[in-house]
Amino acid sequence: MTRSATLTYGDKRIELPVIEGSEGELAVDVTQLRAQTGLITLDPGYGNTGACLSTITYIDGEKGILRYRGIPIEELAERSSFIETAWLLIFGKLPTQAQLDHFSARLTAHAPLHESFKHHFEGFPVNAPPMAMLSAMINTLCCFYPEVQDMTEEDFFEEATRLVSKVRTIAAYTYRRSLGLPFIYPDPKLRYVTNFLHMMFSMPFDQHIASREVVEALNLILLLHADHEQNCSTSTVRVVGSSRANLFSSCAAGVCALWGPLHGGANVAVLDMLEAIHKGGLSAEHTLEMAKDKKSGFKLMGFGHRVYKNFDPRAVILKKSADKVLGQLGVNDPLLDIARRLEELALKDSYFVERKLYPNVDFYSGILMRAMGIPTNMFTVIFAIGRMPGWIAHWKEQHDSEGGRIARPRQIYTGPTTSAYVPVSER
């Protein structure tokens, strides 16, 4: 039976269809609201607005559930890899061995950048923000592969694979540029994550081979960040893509949205907080008391989540990885000691437990990447590499949707009413 919601406005009474998702979530369809009543909805931040129908990722924040294409994140973290998960998100189902082998081969083939790319990097100041370079260079791919502008269905696989592959090379080069180091070519014998770390940390005639623990941890970080439903950057990719902007440009816009400190920069904020605690000589106990005091002006970063009102399932997975990796690496770092003490105390403190302010994925990803030797200014870049498959999947879904319209939100105008122009001599 088709359900509906009744809206009464003045002497008008209209029925609005109620749409039910596959997991039982309900939404009032207001697409005809303005036409039938002259009304629009107002929802700053879009917290109560469904902008699309999607088959990619499901989140239940109350229960701490995250699934990619129906598969629980816990199963993927335990049994899959970032590359296999990328295929799952982009193409809708787990790959066969032949498909996975072909995908991996194309990723290897697409890893090198055109030699002229070096000149573009050399045009940036050495201290240019890596995220600024990353966004610019992803957009620059359109110049080297203009066919993406008129991509057919048959071309999609190649262009999507090109982007997933080259984003890590671009990311590594942004890091090398920031230090004035020579660019390191990708090694076709190395797998995706190992190759990225090679391009980051190798020197000419001195190849860096990352430890198994570091490779597994970074693979897990990328996998857990591969998609997260309609977040700010993913929504940006879909909005830009709705204008029929190409795949590369749309994802470059996603990088810009991710750059914001309230989104992809959250794990950087965690490390900045830990640094401030360390420099200030504060104890973890005093820090938590400051966090509980609303008058202190101090905010505890890396705890709680806008969507999850329970444990962030990604944080649960990364906590186990952090405990394992930090122990195996034997890293002696005062910031990591502070982080682990904060975590230990907060999980026992009734103030945080009752409010469900648990450490989130940004808390653990930050301390893990620091332990791996990845500098703070590269944290958000790593996030972008991980999120790329999700952005591509959402761009494709939005691009293929029937009757897809360009995104064009409305507004409630609150400015001055009609005003007369006053010549400058009379002002």
pLDDT less than 50: residues of the chain: none
Residue 191: inside a domain: yes
288 located within any domain: yes
Indicate the residue among 224, 239, 255 that finishes a domain. Answer: 224
Do residues 220 and 333 both lie within one domain? no
Distance in angstroms (rounded) separating the CA atoms of residues 16 and 146: 44
Say which DSSP state 203 is in.
B
Same domain, 116 and 178: yes
Q: What is the pLDDT of residue 129?
A: 93
Domain membership flag for residue 238:
no
165 in the same domain as 43? no
Tell me which residue of 259, 255, 257, 237 sits closest to 246, measured CA to CA. Answer: 237
- Sheet with 71-72: list strands edge to edge: 57-60, 65-68, 71-72
Count: domains in the chain: 3
Same domain, 81 and 158: yes
Residues 6+ apart with CB under 8 A from 139: 248, 249, 252
Last residue of a domain, one of 371, 389, 416: 371
Give the pLDDT of residue 72.
97
Domain that holds residue 17: 4-50
For 78-101, the pLDDT digits (tens) are 999 999 999 999 999 999 999 999
pLDDT of residue 1: 59
The residues, any chain, with a CB within 8 Å of residue 162's CB and separated by 6 or more, are: 110, 141, 145
CATH number at residue 291: 1.10.230.10
For 125-156, the pLDDT digits (tens) are: 988 999 999 999 999 999 999 999 988 888 99
Residues marked as catalytic? 305, 362
Query: Are 94 and 218 in the same domain?
Result: yes
Helices (runs of H) and strands (runs of E) counted in the chain: 18, 6
Does the pTM of the predicted model rise above 0.85? yes
* Confidence at residue 124, expressed as pLDDT on a 0 to 100 scale: 93
Report, in angstroms and rounded to the nearest whole number, the Rg of the chain calculated over CA atoms: 24
Q: Tokens 């939005």 — which residue?
A: 398
